[in-house]
Structure 1
Amino acid sequence: MLPAKEYEILNQVAALHHRSLPTYLTYARPWVQIGNEAKAAIIDDIATDHHDLVQRILQVLEADDRPVMLGDFPMEYTDLNDLALDFILQELTHYERRLLRTLEEIASWVDRDRSSYLLVNMAIGMAMGHLENLAEASGDSPAMKA
């Protein structure tokens, strides 16, 4: 059985990713101008990573036979409906930065000898990779400027 603290942390990380902005955008897709399909695909890639992480965490939590509470999408996400893709990608960058800060804080609470530490650090690595992909898509990447 997972200690209560580890259970709560994993449930929190799963909820953060299950009801994330990228996941919401797979349901409320932004309009994509012809030629910007690659930029739009970044949203799906991030959402897929979030989904995969949630599945990994759920396997651990469900094996413990306790309820999992993932919550609802925040209502403020609806403010992004029908906005330009470039603006949404900027918002997504802000979102991933906040998520990364939150995950880093959570990692500081987790016992390094627990499975939750590996999952939280996996989430941190994913968020860092997502930020790199978003920077590249917006032309902010050093590789794009070379």
Structure 2
Amino acid sequence: MPQVNAIAALHELLALTKRSFLQYLRHAQPYRQGNDEEILATFSDIVADQDLLVERIVGQLERRGHVPPSAEFPMEFTGLHDLALDYLLDRAIDYQKRDIEALEQLSESLACHQTIRSLVDEAKGMARGHLQSLEECCAKA
């Protein structure tokens, strides 16, 4: 796998984290039913973890003299904002799996950048934990 430069890797990690599906849903108005509190709590916990990781990624960029880029949410998210939370939970699981695959590929491309690879590997571990939380929430729903 070809190597990527450190700044490009940080930009990719930032986009994956800051513009995740659950980050999108925090700004959307999904349809809520009476029994959605656990789903909302799980989403909120994941977004809070991602926010902390975003701060660390931004710090890495700033230490390297780079301004964090702005990023937009993927267009495919826009058609999902007003759907029921139980449906969105299934979609969140799908997107989480996709993000984990992207993090695995990014990690493999960072053999020469150990500090950033460690951050990506931490993000990957966190994403796997989030996937487990989402799957547990889905099993209960």
Q: TM-score, normalised by structure 2?
A: 0.90
The equivalent of 1:34 in structure 2 is 34
In the alignment, is residue 98 of structure 1 matched against residue 98 of structure 2?
yes
Match of 2:50 in 1: 50
2:129 maps to 1:126: no
Corresponding residue of 1:84: 84
What stretches of structure 1 of length at least 5 have no aligned partner?
none
In structure 1, what is the equivalent of residue 61 of structure 2?
Answer: 61
Encode CA deviations 1:81-123: one digit per residue, 9 max, x unaligned. Answer: 2111111000000000000000001110112662101110111
TM-score (norm 1): 0.87
Using the TM superposition, name which of 120-129 and 64-73 deviates more. 64-73
The alignment yields a C-alpha RMSD, in angstroms, of 1.6
* Cα contact 2:36–2:86 (8 A) shared by 1: no
Q: Match for residue 23 of structure 2?
A: 23
C-alpha distance in 2 between matches for 1:33 and 1:113: 46
Higher relative CO (Cα under 8 Å, sequence separation at least 6) belongs to 2
Which sections of structure 2, spanning at least 5 residues, go unmatched? none
Instruction: Report percent identity of matched pairs.
Output: 35
Conserved 8 A contact 1:104-1:124: yes
Count of equivalent residues: 137
Amino acid at match of 2:48: T
User: Could you tell me which residue of structure 2 aligns to residue 135 of structure 1?
Assistant: 135
Q: Which residue type is aligned with residue 39 of structure 1?
A: I
2:14: which partner in 1? 14
Please identify, of 106-115 and 70-79, the stretch whose mean Cα deviation from structure 2 is larger: 106-115
* Distance of 1:129 and 1:30 partners within structure 2: 24
Q: Distance in 1 between matches of 2:113 and 2:8?
A: 16
The aligned amino acid for 1:102 is A
Name the amino acid aligned to 1:9: A
Equivalent-residue separation in structure 1 for 2:46 and 2:30 (angstroms): 15
Aligned partner letter, 2:49: D
Any idea what the Cα deviations from partners look like across 1:1-60, whole Å, max 9, x if unmatched?
Answer: xxx801110111011111111101000032221122011111111111111111101111
Deviation of 1:64 after TM superposition, in Å, equals 1.3
